[in-house]
Amino acid sequence: MSPMSLSVRTLFSSALIVLILCLFACGKPQPVDRTELVVSVRPLALIAREIAGEETPVRILIQGSDPHHYAPSVSERALLERSLLLVWLGPQMEAVLAKQATFLPEQRQLQLLGAADYEFQGASATDPHVWLRPRNAAIAAAQIAERLAKLQPQRAEIYRARARDFSKSMASLQKVLDRALWGYRDVPVVVTHDAYGHFFGSAGVQTHALSDSSGVSHGVRAMLDLSAVEKGCLFGGIPENDRDRQLALHLGLEYAALDPLGEKLAAGASYQDLIESLLIQARACLSQIPDNTTKLGEVPG
């Protein structure tokens, strides 16, 4: 056999071996690099980032749509499959997402409403919008920290330390919120959704909801009960709309729209920014009504 023929055969054999190895590698399952923390709604992302830090990317699934009816796309389902952890509230909030969550291992999903006892003072015991109260945000953050600590034990103490720091800041923020709303405890506050009870309730401000978390309307009853009240506020959701404005006018109330999902916040906003922006939006209406702090006595510490 000539040297030329031997060289060709050797080259062909080498190429065949490389091809076989490539085919074998393509058919073998490749390890998934799970680094992203996926959350259902933006307020949870604001809380999760306090724990995850800059090292762990946080992705939001539901943006610009109703969480109750959101269904993940094909690409979003793939994102869930390769995620480090899915953080969501539960079927009470993200009803359609609940079906997709069943395909994830239990350790790679955190259903916050089933993970801890939250504070519901002044709010409906069945309403899932617990993030609207800073003390509840601290509880959620602690749950996220513990789950991440189990998934990444080498960073466990970092996550737990961040949760402790966040809890302290939330205790302070809750005091600020309660002080700001304390003087309006006797002011009629009508809300288009009982979610806002979480925001106002800790300060002792009672809200009269026109509908509950299941969408059941209480509008007629509320209008009858409030038809002869003193000056108060009606709070709806963003964007502002003529329906809510006309309803407020009919009830003799001032009107303002709130942004509980933080859709209008800047890209780099924090959870504290969310609460402070809600307070600014609320006081835009409440400031038109006399503050009863002096009449009601000393503001709580």
User: In the prediction, which pLDDT does 29 show?
Assistant: 47
pLDDT, mean over the chain: 86
Cβ burial of 65 (10 Å; 0-12, 13-18, 19+) is: exposed
pLDDT band (50, 70, 90) for residue 17: low
User: In the prediction, which pLDDT does 12 show?
Assistant: 52
The conformational region for residue 95 under phi > 0 = left, psi -120 to 50 = alpha, else beta, is alpha
Q: Which of 97-101, 120-124, 199-203, 225-229 shows the lowest per-residue confidence on average (mean pLDDT)?
A: 225-229
201, pLDDT greater than 80: yes
Q: What is the pLDDT of residues 227-271, one digit of tens each?
A: 555 689 999 999 999 999 999 998 889 999 999 999 999 999 999
What is the C-alpha to C-alpha distance for residues 201 and 46, in angstroms, rounded to an integer?
22
| 177: Cβ contacts below 8 Å, ≥ 6 apart | 134, 199, 202, 203, 275, 279
What is the C-alpha to C-alpha distance for residues 203 and 194, in angstroms, rounded to an integer?
16
User: In the prediction, which pLDDT does 224 show?
Assistant: 46
Q: What is the pTM of this model?
A: 0.83
For the residues 173-185, what does the mean pLDDT come to? 96
For the residues 50-54, what does the mean pLDDT come to? 96
CA-nearest of 189, 210, 214 to 199 is 189
Q: Measured at the alpha carbon of residue 223, what is the angle toward residues 221 and 226, in degrees to the nearest 5?
A: 110
27, pLDDT greater than 80: no
DSSP 112: G
Q: Residue 130 in contact with residue 147, Cβ under 8 Å? A: no
DSSP 111: E
* Residue 146: C-alpha distances to residues 74, 82, 140, 279 (Å): 30, 20, 10, 30
What is the C-alpha to C-alpha distance for residues 139 and 117, in angstroms, rounded to an integer?
8
pLDDT band (50, 70, 90) for residue 159: very high
pLDDT band (50, 70, 90) for residue 8: very low
C-alpha torsion 173→174→177→180, nearest 10: -100
49, pLDDT greater than 80: yes
User: In the prediction, which pLDDT does 229 show?
Assistant: 57
53, pLDDT greater than 90: yes
Half-sphere exposure of 169 (CA within 13 A, CB side): 15
User: In the prediction, which pLDDT does 127 show?
Assistant: 94
For the residues 129-156, what does the mean pLDDT come to? 97
User: In the prediction, which pLDDT does 2 show?
Assistant: 54
All structural domains of the chain: 37-178 (3.40.50.1980), 184-296 (3.40.50.1980)
User: In the prediction, which pLDDT does 223 show?
Assistant: 52
22, pLDDT greater than 60: no
For the residues 221-227, what does the mean pLDDT come to? 53
